[in-house]
Structure 1
Amino acid sequence: MLRACLAVFVLLLLAGCTYTAKITDGATAVDRKQYEVAIPMLEREYKRAKSRGQQGEIANNLAISLRETGRDEQAVEWFQTAYDNGVGPDALREKAAALKRLERYEDAIQTYTDLGFEIGSRYEFRKDIAGAELAMKLKERQAQQDRQEYEVNPVAFNSPQADYAAVPFNDALVFTSDRGAATGDQTYNWTGRSFSDLFSVDPTASDVTGFTATLNTEDNEGTPSFSADGNTMIFTRCSPPAKRTDAYCGLYVSERVGDGWGQAEKLPFVTADANYMHPALSPDGSTLIFSANLVEGWGGYDLYRVTKGADGAWGTPDLMNRAINTAGNEQFPTLDGDTLYFSSDGLEGLGGLDIFRTWPLEDGRYNAPKNLRLPINSGADDFAYTIVRRDGTGIGSTTTGYFSSSRPGGAGSDDIYAYTKTQLPPPPPDTTPIAYRNVLDVTVVEKIREDPTNPSSRVLGVRPVPNATVIAQVGDQSRTVTTDEEGQLSLVLVDDQRYEFRAERPDYLAAEGRFSSRNLPRDPDAPEQRYELELEIEKIFRNEEIVLENIYYDYDESFIREDAQPTLNELSELLSRNPDITIELGSHTDCRGRDAYNETLSQARAQAAVDYLVQAGIEAGRLSARGYGESQPVAECICERCTEEEHQRNRRTTFRILE
């Protein structure tokens, strides 16, 4: 459920994707993340649309805008309209996700099933269906229980805007909101509301005030964490780097000064090319857990842990292990002693982000995360679980606190909920001896393309590849196995081992993956834990042009810019994994400029890409460079009438695998 600009809509900790140009149509408003602005425009444009194709495109943009502004009931209908007007399976996928967030689980399962038939792979939606089936079972089981463990109610100080991530501070709560009282006059056009700020409230009186003018700015602030003595606060602030239209979030620290707070400083390990957010300080202030989307992560947003040295300086963050992090998003950590609560959409859940609980065992590894289930979790996003008070011990004792959710029926897009948890009698003990097993399911998959003959056509999903060869390297030992008809092989893992895999099949590019069994949990309640690893192999399209994304050159220059290097590094890795292929690097210009000049410039650019790969260790004999100038445009238009977008499409770097 990644969204543009950052990651998840529930964050709303986004720097303003601001533009000075006037928005004149709905598609442009959506492209610039101004969803609230887009909705009325698109509603008018849909009524004026003259073709089925136009209606489909407009309906899809309208559904996206409704989704991004928290109106899933309406989004469901518009995604269906988009699908009916030829947008394709992506609209059906979005409809199913919205149905799940609305807890219309049977409808969601049916839609996911239909979608699997349409794209030719039920595998793509297996987790979505399993989560919906689990939610239905839990709801049925909850209805049969005489006593409920949790009592959940929305708080009185919720607003029609987004309110979330309440944490205790002294006798008050500090939370994040984009309500109208937030600092600054500018409207955040994503939501049509203000930018987010920190607010304080006495929960018994619901009297909301701004937390501190020192830290609330015209940027987005939120998700604070306080040290046990109340003198240190770490929080998230999102502000756009100069001359950029994207936004990055960082972690900032402020120290108590009298009754107020000092100026915030960015933590030293925060870099400028990733998002850091959702800090959780340990009670002694020496450990910080946070969420970030760094390159070395397992996918999406992951949880990291960093400790403070004896000199008071923060060290280098460590990626937390696969017991916690997944290929999805792990966010909003909070700590209760050494117990870690966090939200994930990558672990098995009821829909969107679900709240999980884990804790370190005696051997240092973390226990398998436990889903808090209904009524804490729902089909929507549930996050930012915090404990405020405990009363009593043993059976009948209670714990009270807060969490946040975007579930239907609240006052706004995200709301804060108070809970009371009552300790119920435990079930009878199970005396069966425990046999622990960790199992890794490795699945070889390939992309499903809208046009199976075109490597540049739209990807609809992935499907398993049967009878693929997988070479598994475990320590110094290697063995070769063949996947079954489901494209899968399963391994019982040995503790503290590094596993490396290579998937091969004739006429496909090989893929590689890794998995570490270090510190995997041992949970008496779930002694068998299963993990998944996908190896995606690519079908070889010989002599077919494949565009390399994000390869740009400065005007009248051919050197490889820094922002182009990641794409070429990926190509270098692909070539290293597949030493038997040779490729041609091609460079194309747009139609502006003289033919001879464009040919010379494009040849120099193609050669620069080849030289970069040679420096990366690829044999020169496997590479050739060819500049095509303006001779092979992909956007057919009269040069003087081409839009800048059409010029950009023609101005591309490509490669093709040669015979």
Structure 2
Amino acid sequence: MKYILSLSILLITVNFAMGQRDLRVAERYYDEYAYQEAIQAYERYLENSNKEPELDVLQKLGDANLYLSNIPQALNWYRKVYEMQGSNISDQYYLKYIQALRGNRDYEEAEKHTKKYIERKHDETLVKRYVAQKKLIDSISDDNSLYTIKNLEAINTPNSDFGPAFYGDKVVYASSKDSVVGNMYSWNKQPFLSLYAAIQNGDTGDLAEPKPFLPEIASKYHDATLSFTKNLDTVYYTTNIRHKKNKLLKTKEGTSNFHIIRGILAEGKLIKTESLPFNSTEYSTGHPSIRQDGKYLFFVSDMPGGYGETDIYVTQVFPDGSVNTPKNLGSKINTEGREMFPFVKGDTLYFSSDGHYGVGGLDIFSAIDKGDFNYENPKNLGRPVNSNRDDFSFIIDSTEQYGYFASNRLEGKGDDDIYSFRKEKPACDQFITGTVTDSLTKKPIAEVKVTAFNKYEEQVADTVTNTNGVYQLELPCEQTYRLVASKPNYTQDEEEVTTEDENKATIEGIDFVLTNYDDLIKKEDDKEMISVNPIYFDFDSAEITPKAITELDKVVFVMREFPKVKIKIESHTDARGSDKYNLQLSQRRAESTQAYIISKGIDATRIESAKGYGETQLKNHCSNGVKCTDEEHELNRRSDFIIIEK
């Protein structure tokens, strides 16, 4: 019995020792980024352990699988972390758990925990950001996305290919397809990253004939993620920190960090390099992106004092090449998670994040700088650019019509693949608004139809005024339109308007004035006539005077505004003078007014007749031999424009 007890104690001791050895091995592999070996060692340790697994072991098993893109396995371990800690789980690991749920397309469960995470932060800003970002993603589908994407199979390999950068008519990118000296990266069992330049097809976006880029940069370790100034005379790139003997320089914890190198280029060759002053052996800096004016450099770092695992920073670059203290872009951009791969185009910052609300893994976002690096809330680019896996290293050309990004989505060719994309111009519409009023009463007119015509005279939109005479049209941006306001029994009015390039902006004050048909006519003896003042001619003349033109233009106006109106012209004189003379004079004047109206573009067929009646149709008693005042005679001198059809 004593022998059996001693043997049991010995076996327990041996198992414990073996378990501790597996744990030490696992820790060493993990610190050396040999995540596959670390996973195996941690799992052996748990199999041989008789006690509850330590939190640190569960976390590292989740992280190691996450870093290798083993999302289902990472989710399994993060779920155990959550089950062990519950509401006490750290923000960092709660976000990783949520991201793993999204990466595994367990979206309903992810939503539940996202809301729990936000609730425990007690931050209304996070609530508003979540609502806005979720609403945007929900509104974007593959069918209504601005982007169409294509896997660049000609250059992608089974290994990692990512980090594209424009370089003249070429694109430079990082790839682990080859190893300069045969070294293998323990993280993913692939060769270390090297830089390649591929010829760019501007029409299709395809990349071809990749060749090693700047061989003088090449090291035995990682060389990746670079950015060029506009004139291509300076390059910023990321590489491992090394000793002078080209060996990795590690921190006391055994970590090999990255730093940013600035290189001066001449005729496509690197002639000088320098490490930027904010680099440190104690933390990493990388993913540089120089703004096109060359004045600001954006980059990523895990330096102390940030918001999360990695944050995006900006530093000013002065004409002499010196830089100032980097500035964190703040909580609008950076989260408790990872913000990486910045790219700046104009006032828009593109970057990848797993801390903002997304589809899963790293998603690509855009944020507009309102000034002094004060950004609007980031917007997710949505599918198909983003997937449930990591999507990153987004770049877009100067026309904002095409570009490239990388993704490790499952349907890719290899580990990380480069994709090209085409981007349609986003929809842009503006509102045109105004009021329609009556020319006589100045009151608003309801139910007026306002129609917009494009430059091809095609109708593109219409609406009607409300009871207050107000209308509103929505029209595409950056176009010129002819707007016509019309209503039965009213004249028409039109205006030309040009929309601008600001979505949902409003152009106000495009007003119209209409005249009622009834205000343009008069009725006498059951006759409907165009209302004009007396038309005066010089003595013994039928020539049109300036005063006559003013009145005749009223007739032209009515006939233009109401194209169905037809008239007959009747001209009359007073009784002074001989009957024959007055008859002839009135006929000449009737014909003269007819000729004027036709000269203004009115179809002659719309004037049935032009007849002079002389003094045969007096309106009062002032006939031959009757003494009358000038005012009484004036009443008989008239031209009538009688409406015979409308």
Q: Give the TM-score of the pair, scaled to structure 1.
A: 0.52
1:72, distance to aligned residue in structure 2 (A):
0.4
Separation in structure 2 between the aligned mates of residue 333 and residue 53 of structure 1, nearest angstrom: 42
Q: Give matches, 1:199-218, under 5 Å.
A: 199-203=196-200, 204=206, 206-218=208-220
The residue aligned with 2:393 is: 384
2:150 pairs with 1:153: yes
Separation in structure 2 between the aligned mates of residue 330 and residue 92 of structure 1, nearest angstrom: 17
Q: Structure 2: which amino acid aligns with 1:152?
A: I
Q: 1:423 to 1:356 in 2, by over 3 A?
A: same
Q: Give matches, 1:128-207, under 5 Å.
A: 140-143=138-141, 147-156=144-153, 157-177=155-175, 179-203=176-200, 204=206, 206-207=208-209
The residue aligned with 2:602 is: none
Higher mean displacement: 257-266 or 210-219? 257-266
1:34, distance to aligned residue in structure 2 (A):
1.6
1:139, distance to aligned residue in structure 2 (A):
5.6
Q: What secondary structure is seen at the aligned counterpart in 1 of 2:423?
A: strand
Separation in structure 2 between the aligned mates of residue 127 and residue 67 of structure 1, nearest angstrom: 29
1:227, distance to aligned residue in structure 2 (A):
1.5
Separation in structure 2 between the aligned mates of residue 140 and residue 242 of structure 1, nearest angstrom: 44
1:233, distance to aligned residue in structure 2 (A):
0.8
Q: Over alpha carbons, which structure has the higher Rg?
A: 2
Separation in structure 2 between the aligned mates of residue 257 and residue 26 of structure 1, nearest angstrom: 47
Q: Give matches, 1:295-306, under 5 Å.
A: 295=304, 297=306, 300-306=309-315
The residue aligned with 2:549 is: none
The residue aligned with 1:75 is: 74
Q: Structure 2: which amino acid aligns with 1:342?
A: F
Per-residue CA deviations over 1:203-235 (Å, capped at 9, x if unaligned) read: 535433322221010122111111222221111
- Contact 2:317 2:323 (8 Å CA) reproduced: yes
Q: What secondary structure is seen at the aligned counterpart in 2 of 1:333?
A: strand
Cα RMSD over matched residues?
Answer: 4.2
The residue aligned with 2:286 is: 277
Separation in structure 2 between the aligned mates of residue 83 and residue 234 of structure 1, nearest angstrom: 41
Separation in structure 1 between the aligned mates of residue 130 and residue 335 of structure 2, nearest angstrom: 19
2:300 pairs with 1:291: yes
Q: What secondary structure is seen at the aligned counterpart in 2 of 1:53?
A: coil
Q: 1:272 to 1:403 in 2, by over 3 A?
A: same
Separation in structure 1 between the aligned mates of residue 296 and residue 389 of structure 2, nearest angstrom: 30
1:414, distance to aligned residue in structure 2 (A):
3.0
Separation in structure 2 between the aligned mates of residue 134 and residue 259 of structure 1, nearest angstrom: 45
1:158, distance to aligned residue in structure 2 (A):
2.4
- Contact 1:174 1:211 (8 Å CA) reproduced: yes
- Contact 1:57 1:87 (8 Å CA) reproduced: no
The residue aligned with 1:419 is: 421
2:231 pairs with 1:229: yes
The residue aligned with 2:63 is: 64
Q: What secondary structure is seen at the aligned counterpart in 1 of 2:29?
A: helix
Separation in structure 2 between the aligned mates of residue 401 and residue 430 of structure 1, nearest angstrom: 35
Higher mean displacement: 292-301 or 223-232? 292-301
Q: 1:125 to 1:192 in 2, by over 3 A?
A: farther
Q: Give matches, 1:100-139, under 5 Å.
A: 100-110=102-112, 122-123=120-121
Separation in structure 1 between the aligned mates of residue 56 and residue 193 of structure 2, nearest angstrom: 31
Per-residue CA deviations over 1:305-328 (Å, capped at 9, x if unaligned) read: 333434x23131341554754343
Separation in structure 2 between the aligned mates of residue 43 and residue 97 of structure 1, nearest angstrom: 23
Separation in structure 1 between the aligned mates of residue 223 and residue 368 of structure 2, nearest angstrom: 29
1:388, distance to aligned residue in structure 2 (A):
2.8
Separation in structure 2 between the aligned mates of residue 374 and residue 197 of structure 1, nearest angstrom: 30
2:260 pairs with 1:251: yes
Q: 1:213 to 1:106 in 2, by over 3 A?
A: same
- Contact 2:358 2:380 (8 Å CA) reproduced: no
Q: Give the TM-score of the pair, scaled to structure 2.
A: 0.52
The residue aligned with 1:51 is: 50
- Contact 2:352 2:363 (8 Å CA) reproduced: yes
1:53, distance to aligned residue in structure 2 (A):
2.7
Q: 1:370 to 1:192 in 2, by over 3 A?
A: same
Separation in structure 2 between the aligned mates of residue 242 and residue 99 of structure 1, nearest angstrom: 34
The residue aligned with 2:98 is: 96
Separation in structure 1 between the aligned mates of residue 392 and residue 350 of structure 2, nearest angstrom: 9
Q: What secondary structure is seen at the aligned counterpart in 2 of 1:262?
A: strand
Separation in structure 2 between the aligned mates of residue 54 and residue 364 of structure 1, nearest angstrom: 49
Q: What secondary structure is seen at the aligned counterpart in 1 of 2:218?
A: coil
The residue aligned with 2:321 is: 313
2:409 pairs with 1:401: no
The residue aligned with 1:37 is: 37
Q: Give matches, 1:521-560, under 5 Å.
A: none
Q: What secondary structure is seen at the aligned counterpart in 2 of 1:158?
A: coil
1:402, distance to aligned residue in structure 2 (A):
0.9
Separation in structure 1 between the aligned mates of residue 125 and residue 354 of structure 2, nearest angstrom: 10
- Contact 2:103 2:360 (8 Å CA) reproduced: yes
Q: What secondary structure is seen at the aligned counterpart in 2 of 1:264?
A: strand
1:276, distance to aligned residue in structure 2 (A):
1.9
Q: Structure 2: which amino acid aligns with 1:416?
A: I
1:75, distance to aligned residue in structure 2 (A):
2.5
Q: Structure 2: which amino acid aligns with 1:161?
A: N
2:382 pairs with 1:374: yes
Q: Structure 2: which amino acid aligns with 1:34?
A: A
- Contact 1:297 1:319 (8 Å CA) reproduced: no
Higher mean displacement: 207-216 or 126-135? 126-135
- In structure 2, list runs of 5 or more residues that go unmatched: 1-20, 201-205, 242-247, 434-501, 506-646
